[in-house]
């Protein structure tokens, strides 16, 4: 569930800190949608400086929602690369039969301790991973098998757990 944080700005202020969030925040200044020039997982930067005591509302998805709010399903074929959204906590793969090769990309913009699980209904003979470094990556998964991962910002790696 999205949350809102409110500020009363200083003259010329453009940077607003947020609790750790997924990087998809939106902003309003005095009730009017504001353009965000950049954002990180803990800060939003507006494109236009605010005036003294403008009411700034930042709507964001807290980090505890990243990687746990969405189950995604894909039906890959041999040779595919599947790319889940950054909110995916569970990726269900339902190919028609055994796949000789498959690449699974990790979610973009992961946050510390983000969880990600892959489940497959069919055998994945040669499994590889992209969009991140993984420690202990499986190279195959049996039918009805799964692999669980956690991300560490300290090392910028996904770990099989």
In the prediction, which pLDDT does 24 show?
Answer: 86
Other beta carbons within 10 angstroms of residue 156's beta carbon come to 10
Nearest partner of 84 among 60, 108, 114, judged by Cα? 108
| Statement to judge: residues 54 and 103 lie in one domain | no
Tally of structural domains, the chain: 2
| Whether residues 89 and 153 fall in one domain | yes
pLDDT digits (tens, 9 = 90+) for 36-52: 999 887 889 999 999 99
β-partners of residue 71 are 90
Give the C-alpha separation, 44 to 5, whole Å: 11
- pLDDT tens-digit series, residues 101-158: 999 999 988 888 888 999 999 999 999 999 999 999 999 999 999 999 999 989 999 9
Q: Which of 43, 63, 83 is the last residue of a domain?
A: 63
Give yes or no: residues 59 and 70 share one domain. Answer: no
Question: Does 23 share its domain with 34?
Answer: yes
What DSSP state is assigned to residue 124?
E
SS3 63: helix
* Pair 78, 52 in one domain: no
Closest by CA position to 135, among listed 116, 157, 104, 117: 157
Mean of all residue pLDDT scores within the chain: 91
């Amino acid at each position: 569930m999205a949350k809102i944080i409110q500020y009363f700005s200083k003259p010329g202020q453009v940077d607003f800190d947020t609790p750790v969030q997924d990087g998809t925040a939106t902003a309003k200044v005095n009730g009017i949608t504001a353009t965000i020039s950049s954002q990180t997982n803990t800060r939003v930067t507006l494109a236009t400086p605010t005036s003294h005591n403008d009411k700034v509302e930042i709507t964001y998805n807290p980090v505890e929602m990243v990687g746990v709010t969405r189950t995604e399903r894909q039906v890959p074929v041999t040779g595919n690369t599947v790319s889940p959204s950054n909110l995916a906590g569970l990726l269900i793969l339902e190919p028609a039969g055994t796949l000789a090769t498959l690449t699974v990309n990790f979610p973009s913009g992961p946050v510390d301790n983000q969880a990600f699980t892959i489940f497959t209904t069919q055998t994945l003979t040669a499994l590889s991973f992209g969009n991140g470094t993984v420690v202990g990556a499986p190279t195959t998964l049996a039918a009805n098998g799964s692999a669980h991962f956690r991300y560490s910002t300290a090392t910028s790696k996904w770990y099989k757990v």
